[in-house]
Amino acid sequence: MNKYEIIQKIEDFAPLETQEKWDCSGWGVECSYSRLAGEEQGDGGHSPCDEVNKILFALTITDSVVKQARENHCDMIISHHPMFYVPLEYRDINIYSAHTNLDLAQGGTTDTLIKKLGFKKTKDEGFVRIVELKEPITIEDLRQKLMKISPKLRYVNNHNIQKIQTIAFCAGSGSEFLEETECDAFVTGDLKFHTALDAKQVVFDIGHFESEIFAPEILKEITGVGERGIIADEKSPFI
């Protein structure tokens, strides 16, 4: 598989230029050779620099994820979260990330979260997606749906709201958009204490990990690599 052709599919879906200025999406490590692919071929040599044999798709690049890539003879990792610093021991494997550009893309992280929950978005507001329900539902109805993805979610209901009809979603850490989004309920991860205190809407914190856990699946589907791509085994750091 040509790694540049694979990445072009991702960038067609989520253009790199749409990432936030602070972001570090794109190539983290662009190897000039693939030692792992050479080992898989049994000759101990190096495969052509543009070619990869197997890809590991991950949410976040960690020591565990890199170990899984090595154990499965993957010569490339494609992740959602980018690395702002790449350890020297990671530099023999291709690493590419699609972060905020994947969040913004149609069919990206937040859109997929909404779809997995059985909702249908009605409009976009940048990183935030809005679901306008035909009929109101109770807070408990929404909580039960969200618990299928995040059993340990927490939520804030400062004004004792009982029913909701408009729900805003932002996968990852989206509480910064809370004040500028008009909705009955807001679903995101990484809710901060003071933001929770001031919230006028019902705000559900389903966890950063849980809200973006479908990102590796999205990236694998975009690339169309089939059985030559595997999904990393990852868990939330919170017990």
* Chain center to CA of 130: 18
Where residue 40 falls among pLDDT bands split at 50, 70, 90? low
Instruction: Check if the beta carbon of residue 211 is closer than 8 Å to that of residue 191.
Output: no
Comparing C-alpha atoms, which of 92, 97, 104, 64 is closest to residue 82?
Answer: 97
Given the structure tokens 């589907």, which residue do they identify?
221
Q: Do β-strands 202-205 and 154-156 pair in parallel, antiparallel, or remain unpaired?
A: antiparallel
Where residue 47 falls among pLDDT bands split at 50, 70, 90? low
Sheet holding 128-138, edge to edge: 123-125, 128-138, 163-173, 185-189, 202-205, 154-156
Q: What is the mean pLDDT of residues 5-26?
A: 98
Q: What is the pTM of this model?
A: 0.92
CATH class name, domain 106-211:
alpha beta
pLDDT confidence of residue 158: 97
Per-residue pLDDT of 196-213, as tens digits, reads 999 999 999 999 999 999
Which structure tokens are listed for 142?
A: 């929404």
Task: Spell out the domain ranges in the chain.
Answer: 3-99, 106-211
Q: How many CB atoms lie within 10 A of CB 38?
A: 16
Map residue 31 onto helix, strand or coil. Answer: coil
* Chain center to CA of 207: 12
Phi, psi angle pair for 110, to nearest 5°? -70, -40
Helix axes 3-13, 215-223, angle to 10 degrees: 120
Query: Which residues pair with residue 26 across a beta bridge?
Result: 97
Which fold does the domain 3-99 belong to in CATH?
A: 3.40.1390
Q: Do 3-99 and 106-211 have matching folds?
A: yes
pLDDT confidence of residue 46: 47
Distance separating alpha carbons of residues 155 and 158, to the nearest angstrom:
10
Per-residue pLDDT of 134-156, as tens digits, reads 999 999 999 999 999 999 999 99
pLDDT confidence of residue 45: 47
Which structure tokens are listed for 37?
A: 């692919």
Given the structure tokens 């190897």, which residue do they identify?
31
Per-residue pLDDT of 74-83, as tens digits, reads 999 999 999 9
Query: What amino acid occupies position 147?
Result: M
Per-residue pLDDT of 92-142, as tens digits, reads 999 999 999 999 999 999 999 999 999 999 999 999 999 999 999 999 999
